[in-house]
Chain A
Amino acid sequence: MKTSNLLGAQTLFKREVRRFLKVNMQTIVTPALTAILYLLVFRYALGDRQVPGIGIDYFTFLVPGLAMMAMLQNAFANTSSSMIMGKVMGMQIYLLMAPLSAMEVVAAFLLAAVVRAVVVAVVFLLVLVPFVDLTIIHPWLIILYGVCGSLIMGGLGLLAGMWAKDFDNIAMVTNFIILPLTFLSGVFYSVSQLPELWQRVNYANPFFYLIDGFRYGFLGVGDTDPFASVGIVLLTVALVFASCWYLWRIGWRMKD
């Protein structure tokens, strides 16, 4: 007999949101401030220079990319830190013992990751509103890429949290996989500025499409056709969600 537990899933979602709100200095203010500092450094280093091939000044070009980078990193951090904290503190058993299906657990975790990512991006953008003339050309592309990117990263964070045995494991994934992929994803440059080999490397980086599509929603220009990438992004969301669901269902690296 299958019985759904909607209240349980809602509670888990609320718990995960409350968790990051309780430490908002660390989870919201710091990431937003870090992104703003990047922006200031590049603003004064590059002056009024334009991005070659796109015809937009660097400052305006950087804002959406940095917002998306903060979203991706924070979505990943929300699920991965919650999972590893649960493991280390022994709290994970309460999720395993609860009458929640894998679908309910994964949905609650990923939605909470999206909420944190959106809150960080909104704080970042609100601070910048007085200083930048930011347009919004395709709002639905911003929402689609923002939400899908956060879901993908939230899912990867959940997988990393399931795999990790301690904080060091999570730091390893964050520093050696997530950070390089987000930094080398076209946040700080247009791919057309790069040598051919590095262009190819960028095209192989899935984060590149997420950031480029998100930026296209604001500026109406980018390195790829974001409409053509929508299918790939949605497929990636489905693949990550399915992996999380299956691995949670079998208790991968959580149950002996």
Chain B
Amino acid sequence: MTALEIHGLSKTYGNGKIALQDVSLSVAKGSFYALLGPNGAGKSTLINILADTVRSGGGSVRLFGHDLFTDRSWCKRRMGVVPQEIAFDPFFTPREVLHFTSGLFGKKADDAWIDELFDRLELSQHTSKNTRQLSGGMRRRLLVAQALVHRPELVILDEPTAGVDVELRRRLWSFMRELNAKGTTILLTTHYLDEAEELCDQVAIINHGKLLTAQPMADLMRQVASSCLWLRYQQTIELSPADHEILAQYAPRTDAQGLYLQLGLQDDGQSTFHQAYQAAVDRFGPPLDAGVRKEDLEDVFLRLTARQVGEAK
């Protein structure tokens, strides 16, 4: 069964900015799903449409088989969203906030569950403080607790670990894994791609409002992530459109300083190490140093989003 079925979702803002173009994806019940994309790709717009804080511009969404747009109340009770921006109610304590959030979602406050959330999110020492007294990281964890307090079947996390230290991040993911193991479907956006790779079994990548790929994480890693050849140069390399064209089969990219050139190598025998190295030397001369390494999700992500930019050019 699918937890979330999105078909042809589109959105154009009043200022003419196209945020989503005909996005379709399916999130299986019980999956841990990564929704990735660079800043401004349309991830938050998609999540905000699901959360009912942004109007849809077309398309359909079904949540556990129910139409999101005609059966909002049913769907909202089963969904918990952690928004990207930190929001807090300056009048109340974290405990009061969770009591109110439970009630707003039509559930009587379950104090045992609320205490467990405080404990797992390391807020137990701060339940009676005013939210104004909490640090940024604490407020973000309170947002996570708010999203979970009504025990939703689908949890949507929009960059929940931004500003959260490494240790707490680890504990948060451990908690999310537990929830996922108990059947909660989790849709996650994050900029920590290593986390997405480690946590998620499904992945979708969007850029400029378009879906680039949506598939099991293992399949994506198998299909596009083979090895890559990196070459270090003494002088900065700037890839021109002609370079992109000539080296297209290697999906070339450079690091931020332009001192490292990276060329993707496919396992299909079409692009061997020797050919790629020679192509680079032909264009930019011999490098200072070179090597081969296995691609990770970040490489795949950058390659896919860069390819789309290249196609647009």
A→B interface (CB under 8 Å): 1-3, 5, 7-8, 10-12, 14-15, 18-19, 22-23, 85, 89-91, 93-101, 251, 254-256
Contact = CB atoms under 8 A, between A and B. Distances in A.
B81 to A, nearest CB: 6
Contacts of B106: 5, 7-8, 99
Given A8-B104, A8-B106, A98-B105, A93 B53 contact: yes
Contacts of B14: 256
B104 A96 contact: no
B76 interface: yes
Interface in B197-234: none
Contact of A23 (B13, B91, B100): B91
Nearest to B66: A1
A256 B53 CA distance: 8
B87 A251 contact: no
- Name the residue in B53, B66, B83, B85 with the highest tally of chain A Cβ atoms < 10 Å from its Cβ: B53
A99 B73 contact: yes
30 contacts: A3-B73, A3-B74, A5-B106, A10-B103, A11-B100, A12-B104, A14-B103, A15-B100, A18-B96, A22-B91, A90-B87, A93-B51, A93-B53, A94-B87, A94-B101, A94-B146, A96-B52, A96-B53, A97-B76, A97-B79, A98-B76, A98-B104, A99-B72, A99-B74, A99-B104, A99-B106, A100-B104, A101-B73, A254-B53, A256-B54
Given A90-B86, A99-B76, 17 more contacts: A1-B66, A1-B71, A2-B73, A8-B104, A11-B104, A18-B92, A89-B87, A90-B87, A91-B88, A93-B51, A97-B51, A97-B76, A98-B105, A99-B73, A99-B77, A255-B53, A255-B55
A97 B102 CA distance: 12
Contacts of A1: 66, 71, 73-74
Contacts of A90: 83, 85-88
B97 to A, nearest CB: 9
A99 B71 CA distance: 10
B16 interface: no
A97 B85 contact: no
Contacts of A3: 73-74, 77
B187 to A, nearest CB: 15
B90 interface: yes
The 9 tightest CB contacts between A and B, nearest first, are A11-B103, A90-B87, A99-B76, A98-B104, A99-B73, A5-B106, A96-B53, A3-B73, A97-B51
Interface in B48-93: 51-55, 66, 71-74, 76-77, 79, 81, 83, 85-92
Nearest to B104: A98
B72 to A, nearest CB: 7
Nearest to B100: A15
Nearest to A10: B103
A2 B55 CA distance: 20
B108 interface: yes
B94 to A, nearest CB: 14
Contacts of B86: 90
B171 to A, nearest CB: 25
A97 B81 contact: yes
A61 B209 CA distance: 65
Given A90-B83, A97-B76, A7 B51 contact: no
